Amino acid sequence: MTSSQEERIRFLISEEIAIVDYDPLWPASFNQEASLLRQTLPSSIVRKIGHFGSTSVPGLASKPIIDILVEVRSLEQTRNEIVPILQASGYEYFWRPNTSHPHGRTRLRAVGEILEVAAYSKLKRILAAETPHDRAAYTEKKTEYIVSVTQRAKIFFQSR
């Protein structure tokens, strides 16, 4: 990793965390960006493109950042073919390994029937105020809540 990449990562993880009310235009913003990605990226590598994270949950307060998951067939092809396309389009690429998944991907699916949107919104606002320039701490402090919701979701769906 070059020094400029390290500086950019340091900037991004210390950038102010701003939680805003849900914006009903977020799904349309995702759809527009996903459409552009489908036109730009090689369909032989891309399996699907999905909206995930807090902006995909109606009513949930969030950082105003649309999280897009591009599911691919090959990480090597992604690095060689997709990354240059995205960088040429103004995206920034950062590989972030995830110790819980061998390929480094993270996927969070919010369960609308279980997730208490108001409670999670309140928690996010509190944590953003407590850790305004520390994204790692902000994310870590949300973990207990997310794990509890995930466990309740598993129980809910197993009982159906």
Q: Residue 88 sits in which domain range?
A: 3-158
| pTM for the full predicted model | 0.69
Domain count across the chain: 1
pLDDT tens readout for residues 78-94:
889 988 988 888 877 76
Lowest mean pLDDT among 66-75, 116-125, 151-160: 151-160
CATH code of the domain in which 120 resides: 3.30.460.10
pLDDT at res. 40:
92
Instruction: Name 15's Cβ contacts closer than 8 Å, sequence gap at least 6.
Output: 133, 135
| Average pLDDT value for residue range 132-149 | 89
**pLDDT greater at residue 135 or residue 99:** 135
**pLDDT greater at residue 34 or residue 150:** 34
DSSP state, 78?
Answer: I
